[in-house]
Structure 1
Amino acid sequence: MKSAYGDDPNGNSQRVDEGESGRWRRFTREEISKRGENLDITWLRDESLQSGDNLPEPEIIAAEIMTKLQTAMDEMEALMLLLEGDPETEAETEALLE
């Protein structure tokens, strides 16, 4: 932590601007004004993330999410039955959880 932010706990340690692609960048007041005072500044990109151009249609993504949520709900219901300890449904419940 000290190597990144310096020894000053108030953040006043000197840092080096690493340029447009570096982690540490300096922005002038003028640059911030040009952005409409918006401080939501991002420039680093995680290369491991997919490009938005290659994503499936929103309907497909939503359907996959719904399927996963339904599976999770089914498993939670089976777990609740198992925790209640009903001997008649115990074997069936354990099978659902596998």
Structure 2
Amino acid sequence: MTLNVDHLLRTAGKLLRKALKAYTGSPREVDRLVFNDVLRHAGKHGVLDAAWVERWLAYRANRNNTAHDYGAGFANETLALLPQYLRDVRQLAQTLQAVFDASA
């Protein structure tokens, strides 16, 4: 199985948007949020805690840097992030499932 971090980040963003719609009166407003604001709103509404938001912001920044840096330092930085990233992805899946189950 190939790990596609970009795909996982996009999917996480879409699912977080869907979860946030349960906390707001304006789904269109949620749709207009940029990814980093989706993360911040997830923290604001308790979907993610503050440390989690900061890690996801770091994952996103790392992903954005791939367009500018392909050197060994960048590769090592990315590899160092992956173990925690994978734990966070699994935890996000459980957290979002609980949000969706509660709103059903």
Larger RCO of the pair (alpha carbons < 8 Å, separation 6+): 2
User: What is the TM-score normalised by the length of structure 1?
Assistant: 0.29
User: What is the TM-score normalised by the length of structure 2?
Assistant: 0.27
The structure having more radius of gyration, on CA atoms, is 1
- Which structure shows the bigger proportion of residues in helix conformation? 2
